Amino acid sequence: MHKSGLMELEAVVAIARLGSFRAAARELEMSPTAIGNAVAGLENRLGVRLFNRTTRNVALTSAGREYVEAIAPALSDIRNAAQAIADHSRKPTGTLRFSCSLAGGRRLLMPFVVEYLRRYSEMKIEIVTEGRLIDIITDGFDAGVRLAEAVPQDMIAMPLGPHTRHVVVGAPSYFANRSRPTAPADLMDHECIRARYSSGALYRWEFERHGEAMRIDVPGPLTLDEPEMIAQASRAGIGLAYVGEWTVADDIASGRLIEVLSEWTPSYPGYCLYYPGRRHMAASFRAFVDLAKEVVYRNRAKAS
């Protein structure tokens, strides 16, 4: 960086951080004489002394401390901008790691990851499905895919698709000798397939209509922890299921499952790609984000 025209500023910040002209010179790959001359030249132009120097110690003056506090963030921004521009000229390589729910992983794979790998054949992608929400930074992931409501607030979130819904469904055989529920309270007289979180807690079915919201701990003979298994049990006529619409859309369209209580299950924001709000983004991940934005925009254009 010292060759970029910011030598004097970089020298001052490095000396302030390391407390030594010699250590700063080594870090910036400069000679001690050159770094000393750079600081002296800057002090002459500013008309103030930035460092108090003795044979054993180097310390910022009050003016030097104020100056470093002002320029250090700007230098960091300049470094990040330079790195980002340099990354644009590099072909993405390496491995991207994603943490997803199982359903989120399916939505991430098609069409985002497949198209990404077609464009960047030297890249590798690892997707780990996990029922519980993890700390993607601590666990070494580049990004995650979750429903918008589950994305941590300190993350940047980018929608991967439109709003979605949960639906209540049952098989025609289940309704052969039963009336269909017309309100959530009717579920207490039905057999329901219950869902359990990875934490061990039972999920209470959520409903809302005209501003009225409720959560119901439904009764039922079977408890599962995976949406596709819940849908499979419902198709077999064991009971009513409450699952993401994307899980049973084909079943509803074909008549294998019948949706009920649709007016009580409004849409909500769907899956998001989320990642830390860092200033610099690796070229490989930036390319993925750019591609995801492109695909999302293309899909919206088709839908309209």
HEC string for 169-238: EECCCHHHHCCCCCCHHHHHHCCEEEEECCCCCECCEEEEECCEEEEECCCCCEEECCHHHHHHHHHCCC
Instruction: Please give the pLDDT value at position 84.
Output: 65
Count CB-CB contacts under 10 A for residue 71. 16
Flag whether pLDDT at 81 surpasses 90: no
User: Is there a common fold for 2-88 and 166-264?
Assistant: no
CATH architecture of 166-264: 3-Layer(aba) Sandwich (3.40)
Instruction: Specify the pLDDT at position 111.
Output: 82
pLDDT average, residue stretch 90-116: 85
pLDDT digits (tens, 9 = 90+) for 167-217: 999 999 999 999 999 999 999 999 999 999 877 889 999 999 998 999 999
Q: Which pLDDT does position 89 carry in this prediction?
A: 55
* pLDDT given for residue 180 in this prediction: 97
Please state the pTM of the whole predicted model: 0.60
Average pLDDT across the chain, whole number: 88
Q: Tell me: the pLDDT tens digits for 177-188?
A: 999 999 999 999
Whether the pLDDT of residue 278 is over 70: the answer is: no
- Give mean pLDDT, residues 76-103: 77
**Does 3.40.50.970 match the CATH number of domain 94-162+270-303?**
no
Q: Domain ranges in the chain?
A: 2-88, 94-162+270-303, 166-264
Q: Where are the beta strands (DSSP E) in the chain?
A: 51-53, 58-60, 94-100, 123-129, 143-147, 155-159, 166-170, 193-195, 205-209, 212-216, 222-224, 241-244, 258-260, 271-276
Residue 130 has pLDDT above 90, yes or no: no
The pLDDT score that the predictor gives to residue 117 is 94
Identify the architecture of domain 2-88 in CATH: Orthogonal Bundle (1.10)
